[in-house]
Amino acid sequence: MKYISLLGIITIIALCTEFVLQMSGGDAIESFNAGRETGAQQAESGASYVHSFLLPVKAKVIPEGMEGEATLQLADGTKTVPYSIAEVKCEVRPSWFIAIALTFGSFFVALIGIYSIYCLIRLLIRVAKRDIFSRRNVYWIRWFAYVNAGIYLGLMLFEWLLERDAVSQLRIPGYQVIGIEHTVYDFSSFFVIVLLAEVYAVAVKIKEEQDLTI
């Protein structure tokens, strides 16, 4: 039990640290604040409001015909070699839907994330008290597993919508924008966590049936 408690404490600290870093830092927060200030200035001046919320992206590009081909001179000046650009870091203005969803969705994601960590803490407390096979524990572990998987699926949808905006807005002479760099998610881990949660639920059900039989 001491080993499980120690492992649980380390897991909770790691989750809290990752959660705080994701919610408090990053270029997206800076771009959001800059866009909000610009919008406030537009409102004060009486100009028609167009949201200036910009999000940083890494756009993937490919050369478009001969215009995308260029040469680069070596340091010794004796030879030039062809080169092309494969990725460009820039900012795009997301659609109104994404801007509103990100503004309000971040708040709900923060609440859900905090409650998920709370569920994990309650689960570990009950396990430490040797109350392992109970329906309440099934609720805690299912909430943690399914909600976290749902959040990452939502982030995938967000990146897909942002990619559509980037492709439609960005124009780079000599290059064609084919998409943006996506976050790599470990889906196998999500499915394993959900699978273990359901196996645990079945184990609890079997334990209850055995208790009734006895």
Q: How far is CA 188 from CA 31, 163, 191, in A?
A: 32, 24, 5
Which residues in the chain belong to E strands, given as ranges?
55-63, 70-73, 80-83, 87-92, 175-180
Does residue 52 surpass a pLDDT of 70? no
At 154-208, the pLDDT tens digits run 888 888 888 888 888 888 777 888 888 887 777 777 788 889 889 988 988 888 8
Paired with 92 in beta bridges are: 55
156 vs 105, higher pLDDT:
156
Does residue 118 surpass a pLDDT of 80? yes
Q: How buried is residue 81: exposed, middle or buried, by Cβ count under 10 Å (0-12/13-18/19+)?
A: exposed
On whether the pTM is more than 0.85, the answer is no
State how far the Cα of 73 lies from the Cα of 54, in Å rounded to an integer. 35
Does residue 139 surpass a pLDDT of 80? yes
- The candidate with the shortest Cα–Cα distance to 156, out of 133, 175, 184, is 184
Does residue 38 surpass a pLDDT of 60? no
23 neighbors 110 (Cβ within 8 angstroms): yes
The DSSP line for 17-48 is: HHHHHHHH-SHHHHHHHHHHHHHHHHHHHTPP
Does residue 70 surpass a pLDDT of 80? no
State how far the Cα of 39 lies from the Cα of 174, in Å rounded to an integer. 33
State how far the Cα of 35 lies from the Cα of 51, in Å rounded to an integer. 7
At 2-24, the pLDDT tens digits run 666 677 778 778 777 776 766 55
